[in-house]
Amino acid sequence: MTTTLPTQEQHQALARAVNLSEIEALGRERLDQNALDYYASGANDGHTVRANREDFARIRLRPRMLVDVSSIDTSTQVLGLPLDFPVGVAPSAFHGLAHPDAELATARAAAGMGSVMTLSTFSNTPIAEVGQAAAGRFWFQLYLLGDRELSREIIARAGACGARALVFTVDAPYLGRREANERHRFALPPHLSAPNVASREALAGVETDTGSQLTNYFQNLVDKSFTWNDLGWLRAQTDLPIVLKGILTAEDAELAVQHGCHIWVSNHGGRQLDTAVSAISALPEIADVVAGRAEIYLDGGISRGTDVIKAVALGARAVFLGRPALWGLAAGGEDGVRRVLELLKDEVRLALALSGKQNLKEVGRDLLKM
C-alpha cells in the first residue's frame, strides 16, 4: 500500500543503495499504480523526459591533473542562504502519495542536510507545518490562481511561515497531457487533500470519468491570462525574491531579469510540452544573456554528481531534484530523502576532486566538452 511505513528490511535495502537509480527502484516498488503513474509520467510520448537525462550524458568532462584536492569545498549560496552543496528539492505535488509524513519528511531531510526544499502549492501538508519542519530552509512555489485574493492570501501565508523566496511557475497555464494519468483516471485517495487550494470535499466533487482529477480541477483554477505585464502585481504582494520557474529561452530570461526576477530553467520534468528542449541544453543561452545579473537554477534529469557540476559549469547556481526526492520519500520517508541527498553530495565532492577542482567557484565551461 502506498502510504504504509517502510519495514526494517526496506530501510536496510535503502542503506545498501549506492546510487539514485537503486533508490528509484526501491521507491517504485513501494508505490501503488495511482501514485506511480502520477510521479513517473511525462507528457505525450516522453521525449522531453528522456532528453533531460540523455543531454547530460552527451556533455563530456575535461579534468585537470596534479591539483591539490586534499580538501574539497562543495558549499554555495542561493539568495543568501548557505547550502552545504548545490542541490535542493524541487516543488512536487502530493508527497502524501509516497509516505504518511509527506512534505514534513522532505522538509526535515533537506534542512538536516543543509539543503533547501521548495514547497508546492499542491502540497498535502499546510504551509505552516512545513515551515516549522524546514527550520528556515524552504521556498514556496506558486501557481497564480484565477482567484487573485486567494493567491494573495497564500503568498502572505508563505511569507509569514518563513519562506525565503517565492517560486512562480510560469510554464503551466494548462497541464500537459500525461497519458497514464488520463488512462487510469488519477485521483487523490480520500485521506489526502491539497489544503492550500482545495479541501477533500472540493476534490471529491471533481469528476474523473473523463480523465485525471487533477487536470479537471486545475483547468478552472489557474489564471491563464497572466503575462509579463502582470508581474508588477505579483511583486506588490511580497518582499520575497521572486524566481520564475519554467524559463527555457534567452528571450524570456532577459525579460525575467528586466522584471527583477531570478530564473529557474525547467521544462517541468518533461510533463508539459513534449519535445521541448531539455533544461541542460537551454542553460547556456540563458546564462549568456543573464550574464550574472540574476541567479539561475535548474531542474530536470539530475541523477549524478557529475550532472550537478555540469550544470554549475554552464551557469547554474544550484540544481533541484524532483522525482529523485520522491523516490527516496517512497523508499524510506525522511531517511530516504536524506539518503538521496547524501549520495549526491558525496558524488559532487568526488566529481570535483577527480576534475581537479577544489570548490565550485573553480568550475566553469573550460571543464566541459560539449
Catalytic residues: 268
CA distance 77 to 312: 12
44 to each of 41, 53, 76, 129, how far by Cα in Å? 9, 17, 37, 35
Burial class (CB in 10 A: 0-12, 13-18, 19+), 69: middle
- The answer to whether the beta carbons of residues 244 and 263 sit under 8 Å apart is yes
Whole-angstrom distance, CA of residue 55 vs CA of residue 307? 10
**3-state SS record for 185-214:** CCCCCCCCCECCCECHHHHHCCCCCCCCHH
**353 HSE (CA, 13 A, CB side):** 11
Q: What angle do CA 91, 48, 367 make, to 5 degrees?
A: 85
Rounded to whole angstroms, the Cα distance separating 88 from 39 reads 18
Which residues partner with 119 through β-bridges? Answer: 140
Residues 6+ apart with CB under 8 A from 12: none
How many CA atoms lie within 13 Å of 194's alpha carbon, on the beta-carbon side?
A: 22
CA distance 246 to 324: 19
* Four-CA torsion 101, 158, 151, 198, nearest 10 degrees: 20
Q: Locate 264 and state its grid cell.
A: 529557474
